Copies of this chain bind each other. A is one copy, B any other.
Amino acid sequence: MGIKRIETGDRMSQAVVHGGICTTAGQVAKGAPGASAADQTKDILAAIDGLLKEAGTDKSKLLTAQIWLSDIGDFADMNAIWDAWISPGNAPTRACVESKLASPDFIVEIAVTAAV
């Protein structure tokens, strides 16, 4: 089975497709550094929609998600955006924990897998 790498660089690929599954890298809010958890979540989910489209799939085929918050106190604010984004009846598995991220500009990070 071949490996398709999307937006690939020297350090990482933003997504990889293999064996009928697309996995994204942990996405941070490149379009909203320093913004609120809600706004960063919106920016990230738009980026994920774009990566899934490049992979030939969409959020209705989500399998799993992992979410890191630099402050777990942002849980409710992130969830409000997340819950509205989910394709009804097609919610993935999920784990959400607190971890500091690579830059203090980013307070939310999300990685997903989806069937292709």
Contacts and interface: CB of A to CB of B under 8 A. Distances in A.
Nearest to A98: B100
B93 A15 contact: yes
Chain A interface bracket (under 10, 10 to 19, 20 to 34, 35 or more): 35 or more
A45 B85 CA distance: 30
Nearest to A116: B1
Contact of A95 (B25, B61, B89, B96): B25
B72 A97 contact: no
Contacts of A13: 91-93
Interface string A5-17: 1001111111110
Interface of A: 1, 3, 5, 8-16, 18-21, 23-26, 61, 63-66, 68, 72, 75, 79, 82-83, 86, 88-102, 109, 111, 115
